[in-house]
Amino acid sequence: MHLDWTALGQVTAVSLGVTVAVVVVFALGVLGLARLEGAREHPGGSSALGLGQAALCFLACAAVVAYGIYLIVPQFH
Protein backbone atom coordinates (compact mmCIF):
# COMPACT_ATOMS: atom_id res chain seq x y z
CA MET A 1 0.00 0.00 0.00
CA HIS A 2 1.25 3.40 -0.91
CA LEU A 3 0.10 6.51 0.88
CA ASP A 4 1.15 9.83 -0.51
CA TRP A 5 1.70 11.77 2.70
CA THR A 6 3.31 14.67 0.86
CA ALA A 7 0.21 15.20 -1.28
CA LEU A 8 -1.99 14.90 1.78
CA GLY A 9 0.14 17.50 3.57
CA GLN A 10 -0.02 19.79 0.54
CA VAL A 11 -3.81 19.54 0.36
CA THR A 12 -4.00 20.39 4.05
CA ALA A 13 -1.62 23.35 3.87
CA VAL A 14 -3.05 24.85 0.66
CA SER A 15 -6.67 24.39 1.77
CA LEU A 16 -6.04 26.00 5.15
CA GLY A 17 -4.05 28.86 3.68
CA VAL A 18 -6.40 29.69 0.80
CA THR A 19 -9.59 29.39 2.86
CA VAL A 20 -8.32 31.63 5.65
CA ALA A 21 -6.85 34.14 3.19
CA VAL A 22 -10.01 34.42 1.08
CA VAL A 23 -12.32 34.73 4.07
CA VAL A 24 -10.09 37.30 5.81
CA VAL A 25 -9.77 39.42 2.66
CA PHE A 26 -13.53 39.15 2.06
CA ALA A 27 -14.19 40.13 5.68
CA LEU A 28 -11.97 43.19 5.21
CA GLY A 29 -13.97 44.04 2.09
CA VAL A 30 -17.23 43.72 4.03
CA LEU A 31 -15.68 45.93 6.71
CA GLY A 32 -14.96 48.58 4.07
CA LEU A 33 -18.52 48.30 2.83
CA ALA A 34 -19.85 48.69 6.36
CA ARG A 35 -17.70 51.81 6.78
CA LEU A 36 -19.04 53.21 3.52
CA GLU A 37 -22.65 52.59 4.54
CA GLY A 38 -21.96 53.95 8.01
CA ALA A 39 -20.52 57.14 6.50
CA ARG A 40 -23.70 57.62 4.49
CA GLU A 41 -25.77 57.56 7.65
CA HIS A 42 -23.46 59.69 9.77
CA PRO A 43 -21.76 62.21 7.46
CA GLY A 44 -18.20 62.95 8.47
CA GLY A 45 -16.86 59.40 8.25
CA SER A 46 -14.42 58.67 5.46
CA SER A 47 -16.48 57.03 2.73
CA ALA A 48 -13.71 57.12 0.12
CA LEU A 49 -11.44 54.99 2.30
CA GLY A 50 -14.21 52.44 2.86
CA LEU A 51 -15.00 52.28 -0.84
CA GLY A 52 -11.36 51.80 -1.78
CA GLN A 53 -10.86 49.08 0.81
CA ALA A 54 -14.00 47.24 -0.27
CA ALA A 55 -13.18 47.49 -3.99
CA LEU A 56 -9.61 46.26 -3.51
CA CYS A 57 -10.63 43.31 -1.33
CA PHE A 58 -13.53 42.17 -3.52
CA LEU A 59 -11.31 42.44 -6.59
CA ALA A 60 -8.78 40.13 -4.93
CA CYS A 61 -11.55 37.65 -4.10
CA ALA A 62 -12.85 37.79 -7.69
CA ALA A 63 -9.36 36.94 -8.90
CA VAL A 64 -9.31 33.84 -6.66
CA VAL A 65 -12.76 32.82 -7.96
CA ALA A 66 -11.51 33.22 -11.54
CA TYR A 67 -8.57 30.98 -10.73
CA GLY A 68 -10.97 28.46 -9.20
CA ILE A 69 -13.02 28.37 -12.42
CA TYR A 70 -9.80 27.99 -14.37
CA LEU A 71 -8.95 24.94 -12.27
CA ILE A 72 -12.43 23.42 -12.67
CA VAL A 73 -12.67 23.76 -16.46
CA PRO A 74 -10.21 21.43 -18.20
CA GLN A 75 -10.46 23.27 -21.54
CA PHE A 76 -8.42 26.12 -20.03
CA HIS A 77 -5.45 23.93 -19.23
Binding site for another protein (CB under 8 A): 1-3, 7-8, 10-12, 14-16, 18-20, 22-24, 26-31, 33-35, 37-38, 61, 65, 68-69, 71-75
Are the CB atoms for 38 and 73 separated by under 8 Å? no
Nearest approach in angstroms of CB 66 to another protein is 11
Nearest approach in angstroms of CB 70 to another protein is 10
Nearest approach in angstroms of CB 54 to another protein is 8
